[in-house]
């Protein structure tokens, strides 16, 4: 009888096994496939920066390049823990450059003289993602957008990080973020490298090494639809740790009128291999009147150094503008900005922005007088609304920077074309 049962079970198992996979595997992966999305972002970027001060070692940075970015995001498999896969592939192609005009951040610079930019560069970054309830864990290539770590996307291809990031929204109104990063791929590089601190300008930051561990944690609570607060922590091992609190409030005043308040405070201290000591206070107030927006800001640095943030990333500062972030030692700065949407005049897709930022009281040390700087920006953008070039975005960006007792005097223009093609 035992022999009979064993012999009879084998063909039954052989019949059931393929049937089981036929019925269950496609069902398990149905949402993984049906909810997937893929697109190609195309960006054409011309960059021209003239250095106007007589002591400039390079008179000009001027490069032109084309980028293609493939983005793929799957859905999740069914079950209590869904599994998914994201992918980003970035390719940059040189259209015009030369060693005497390189360094714009669009293209890598060769390692040996004459340091000529390569004809192309790129990288591929996969990300595994897991979802359970309202929590999601991503492991692999990350593009974080948090106060303590903001990936930079202001050149040809996007800065990315490698690590793990857990985002959870299990409690209504509360969002939690935890993670660790160990490598960064800069916007003009194909390589993954250790992380460090941005030290340019007159920040007075001294760094002894790079680090392969950046830990972050944060919480954001939406008290009501118009009020949210956040508390965030970041630590670059051996270099600095930082805490950031922020508050965002939106106040409707009348029909078509809104006042938005954005307050930020950060404090940071050094690790064993740096001298970081900074406290930063900032506030942004934006009054919107129909198609007009008027913004004023204030920002103040205190401490022995300027504001620390991951190298070539974006700092969480209200006066981060096209070229400067006004984050030098003891710097005090204010901004006035105006924006207009031409939809009200019958030209949808056309936008205009202009702003002026002035910084002073910069402590230079060494017996030097205080430094100061100002920057003026103008942006004109248009997204084509119809025809064969529908959704092509065009942006012209102009900036002028002048400084006293430190830094560079700069005239800069950028011309950027963007288009996203949805594959499915």
pLDDT confidence of residue 34? 87
CATH no. for 35-422: 2.40.160.10
What's the whole-number average pLDDT of the chain? 93
pLDDT at residue number 340: 98
For residue 397, give the nearest of 349, 353, 337, 340 by alpha carbon: 353
Tell me the per-residue pLDDT of 371-412, one tens digit each, with 9 for 90 and over: 999 999 999 999 999 999 999 999 999 999 999 999 899 999
Given a cut of 60, whether residue 9 has pLDDT beyond it is no
Contact between 110 and 100 (Cβ < 8 Å) = no
In angstroms, the first-to-last Cα distance of the chain is 57
Q: What's the whole-model pTM score?
A: 0.91
Percent of the chain at pLDDT above 70?
94
DSSP code of residue 238? T
Q: What is the pLDDT of residue 32?
A: 85
**Mean pLDDT of the 144-164 span:** 98
More confident residue, 296 or 26: 296
Name the one residue in this structure whose structure tokens are 């054409």: 44
342: DSSP letter: G
CA distance 204 to 315: 16
Vertex 210: Cα angle to 206 and 211 (nearest 5): 125
Domain ranges across the chain: 1-28, 35-422
pLDDT in tens, 209-235: 999 999 999 999 999 999 999 999 999
Is it the case that residue 10 has pLDDT exceeding 80? no
Mean pLDDT value across residues 95-111: 93
Instruction: Band the pLDDT of 27: cuts 50, 70, 90.
Output: low
Does the structure show a pLDDT above 50 at 178? yes
Determine the pLDDT at residue 26.
Answer: 64
Residue 354: name the closest of 334, 375, 372, 373 by CA.
375
Per-residue burial over 326-364, b if 16 or more Cβ lie within 10 Å, else e, is bbbbbbbbbbebebbbeeeeeeebbbebebbbbbbebbb
């Amino acid at each position: 009888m035992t022999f009979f049962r064993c012999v009879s079970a084998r063909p039954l198992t052989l019949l059931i096994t393929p049937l089981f996979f036929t019925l269950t595997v496609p069902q398990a992966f149905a949402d993984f496939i049906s909810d997937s999305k893929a697109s190609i972002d195309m960006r054409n970027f011309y960059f021209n920066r003239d250095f106007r001060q007589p002591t400039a070692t390079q008179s000009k940075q001027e490069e032109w390049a084309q980028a293609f970015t493939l983005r793929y995001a799957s859905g999740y498999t069914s079950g209590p823990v869904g599994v998914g896969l994201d992918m980003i592939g970035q390719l940059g192609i040189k259209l015009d450059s030369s060693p005497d005009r390189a360094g714009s951040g669009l293209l890598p610079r060769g390692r040996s003289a004459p340091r000529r930019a390569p004809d192309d560069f790129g990288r591929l970054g996969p990300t595994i993602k897991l979802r359970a309830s309202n929590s999601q864990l991503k492991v692999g290539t990350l593009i974080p957008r948090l106060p303590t770590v903001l990936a930079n996307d202001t050149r040809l291809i996007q800065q990315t990080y490698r690590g793990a990031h857990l985002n959870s929204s299990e409690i209504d109104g509360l969002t939690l973020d935890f993670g660790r990063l160990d490598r960064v791929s800069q916007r003009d590089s194909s390589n993954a490298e250790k992380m460090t601190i941005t030290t340019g300008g007159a920040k007075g930051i001294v760094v002894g090494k790079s680090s392969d561990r950046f830990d972050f944690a944060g919480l954001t609570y939406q008290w009501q639809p118009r009020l949210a607060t956040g508390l965030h922590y970041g630590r670059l091992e051996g270099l600095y740790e930082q805490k950031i609190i922020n508050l965002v409030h939106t106040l409707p005043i009348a029909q078509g009128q809104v006042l938005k308040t954005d307050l930020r405070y950060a404090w940071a201290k050094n690790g064993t291999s740096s001298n970081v000591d900074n406290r930063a206070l900032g506030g942004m107030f934006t009054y919107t009147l129909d198609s007009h927006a008027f913004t004023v800001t204030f920002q103040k640095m205190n401490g022995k150094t300027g504001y620390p943030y991951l190298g070539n990333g974006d700092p969480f500062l209200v006066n981060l503008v096209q070229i400067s972030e006004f984050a030098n030692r003891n710097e005090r700065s204010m901004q006035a900005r105006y924006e207009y949407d031409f939809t009200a005049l019958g030209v949808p897709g056309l936008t205009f922005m202009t702003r002026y930022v002035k910084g002073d009281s910069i402590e230079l040390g060494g017996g030097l007088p205080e430094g100061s700087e100002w920057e003026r920006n103008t942006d004109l953008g248009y997204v084509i609304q119809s025809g064969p070039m529908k959704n092509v975005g065009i942006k012209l960006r102009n900036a002028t920077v002048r400084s006293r007792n430190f830094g560079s005097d700069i005239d800069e223009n950028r011309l950027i074309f963007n288009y996203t093609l949805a594959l499915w």
